[in-house]
Structures are given as C-alpha cells and as structure tokens.
Structure 1
Amino acid sequence: MADYKDKILKAYFTGKMALAIKQRELEIRHGHNHVDDVNRNIRAKNKQSHTTETTLAVLEQDPYINTTKEVMEYISEWLEVFDELDQQIIKLRYTGHSWINIEYRLALGNRTGNRHLKEAKSWLVLDDTYLLGIRS
C-alpha cells in the first residue's frame, strides 16, 4: 500500500506537481471575476486598473504554489544526497516501472532495489500535509 511519501514522490517524478503549479497559475491569471463583469463599463475618472500587479502579487503569495515549489525543491535536494544507482532506482520506481524491470535494467539482485528505496525513503522528512491537492 502506498503511503503519503510514495504519493508525493510519484507526483514529483510524473510531473503532477509541476502541472499543478501551472494549473494554479492559469487559474489565478485567467480566473473569472464576477465583480469585473458588473463594473466592466463603469470607470471613475483618473483611475487605473492594476490587474497585472495584483495578479503577480497573488501569484507570489499563493500558499498552494509556494508550498508545492518548496516540496519540489526539497525533493530535488534530497535526491542529490544519494549516489547514481539510488537515484536511478527512485526515478524508475516512481515513473511506473515494476521491480522486475528495475532489477533487469540496473542488473540488481532480487529485492535489492526495494531495499535501496526503503533506505532512501527513511531519509525523506515529509508529512502528509504536503499532499495538498495531489490526487493518486
């Protein structure tokens, strides 16, 4: 059974995290604002619309985007700690390869890849609050 670390790592390696950030940015940039529809043709004298500045401020302060970016940076730093073999095992496993395929590709013995992955995951310090909107 996959735990929360597995879900987070799978989302990282399959690109779901990066996609979630892009989707959230598009939602903020092009979201439909009903207040603008009501006041579309009403303009006060000497008033300017600062939608670009407002949008950039919202993007910089969005907690979902910031937390997801922090998690992505943390995982990339976490990966740099391990040697090339462990990195390949982690990447292959979380991009959908079976253990048999991983062991065949990397010329590993039976259950060696799983042992490497369990040891690597023990060094990953994340809690389930980082799951955010990641769906399995």
Structure 2
Amino acid sequence: MADKLDKLLSDYFTGILDANIKLRRAELKYFSKHAPDENIGGGRKQNDYSNPVELDMIREEDDEMLSAWIMQKEIIETFFNITVEPQRTILYERYGHKKSWLAISLIVHANERTCQRWRDNFKNGIAGHLYSTLNGMSF
C-alpha cells in the first residue's frame, strides 16, 4: 500500500492528479453513455425534461473514479497546507522533482534520516484518510 501512496503523492506534486481530474471530467462531458431511445410506440415522449448542466453534474457526482481523485486531492492539500515549511520543501522536492535524500537534506539543512522521518510522518497522517480511496484504484 505504501507504493500506491508514494505514487499518489508523486502524481499530486507533479500535476498528474489535476490532469487526470480534468481529463475525466472531459470524458464524462463528451463521451456519455446514453442508451438509444427505444420509444417505438409512435407517440411523443411524456415528461421529457432535459437540462444539460444538471445532467453533467449528476454524471460527475456518480463517477467513482472522479470522486476518489477529487477526495484524494483535497485530503493531500489539507494536510500539506498545515505542515511547516521544511516539511513542505521535503515533500515538494522528493515527489515533485524526484531528488535524492542527500540533495534534499542539503536544501533544508537537516539530516537525511530526519528528512525521511518528516516524510513518513506526513504519509502516516494522510494514510488513514486515503486508504479508503485507494482500495479500488489501480495504478
């Protein structure tokens, strides 16, 4: 499960998670799965109500993948915003720029093991909230 969490953090800090959310919304908007109208009775449809904005919103809310990605993004943003500056730098450099622990320790002026421990503390803090969204996801 740690591999999925590392992948998710990497996707968040590199912008892939945002791109996935935008792409999924576009897929839902333009490639909808509507069944063909099977009204062969010859009469008019009664109670025909069409509101495309509401239908788009319903389609987005019902999509499990999109909902999971949005929740993951919000959880990571919430925890990232309440962390202190050296930990933010560590997370951004490790997952956003893929730097080594030695390079990160030189940037934040801390021991490599201290940087890893700060990263582990962040991951442990978000892990319980994210595992419910990671179970059904494949990476």
Which TM-score band (shorter chain)? 0.7 to 0.9
Instruction: Tell me the TM-score normalized by structure 2.
Output: 0.73
Task: Indicate yes or no: 2:133 matched with 1:130.
Answer: yes
> Partners of 2:3 and 2:118 in 1: how far apart?
17
Letter of the 1:72 counterpart: K
Name structure 1 gaps, 5 residues minimum: none
Kept after mapping to 1: 8 A contact 2:90/2:115: yes
Given the alignment of the two structures, is residue 111 of structure 1 paired with residue 120 of structure 2, yes or no?
Answer: no
Aligned Cα root-mean-square deviation (Å): 3.1
Q: Distance in 1 between matches of 2:30 and 2:65?
A: 17
Aligned to 2:23: 23
1:25 shift after superposition:
0.6
C-alpha separation in 2, matches of 1:93 and 1:117: 9
Query: Within 5 Å, which residues of 2 pair with 1:33-112?
Result: 35=35, 44=44, 49-95=50-96, 96-112=98-114
> How far apart in 1 are the matches of 2:10 and 2:77?
13
Q: Deviations over 1:59-93 (max 9, x none)?
A: 23322222221221111111233211111111111
Query: Percent identity of the aligned residues?
Result: 27
Q: Say which structure, 1 or 2, has more relative contact order (CA 8 Å, 6+ apart).
A: 1
- In 2, Cα distance between equivalents of 1:102 and 1:34: 50
SS in 1 for 2:12: helix
Q: Secondary structure at the match of 1:97?
A: coil
Tell me: CA distance 1:119–1:49, structure 2 relative to 1, closer, same or farther (3 Å): closer
When normalised by structure 1's length, the TM-score is: 0.75
Q: Is the 2:94–2:100 contact (alpha carbons within 8 Å) kept by the matching residues of 1?
A: yes
Give the letter for the 1:19 counterpart.
A
Q: Secondary structure at the match of 2:110?
A: coil
Uncovered stretches (5+) of structure 2, i.e. residues with no partner: none
Query: Relative to 1, partners in 2 of residues 1:4 and 1:126: Cα closer, same or farther, differing over 3 Å?
Result: farther
The answer to whether the 8 A contact 1:16-1:134 is kept is: no
Distance of aligned partners of 1:52 and 1:89 in 2 relative to their CA distance in 1, 3 Å threshold: same
> Quick check: 89-98 or 101-110, which moved more?
101-110
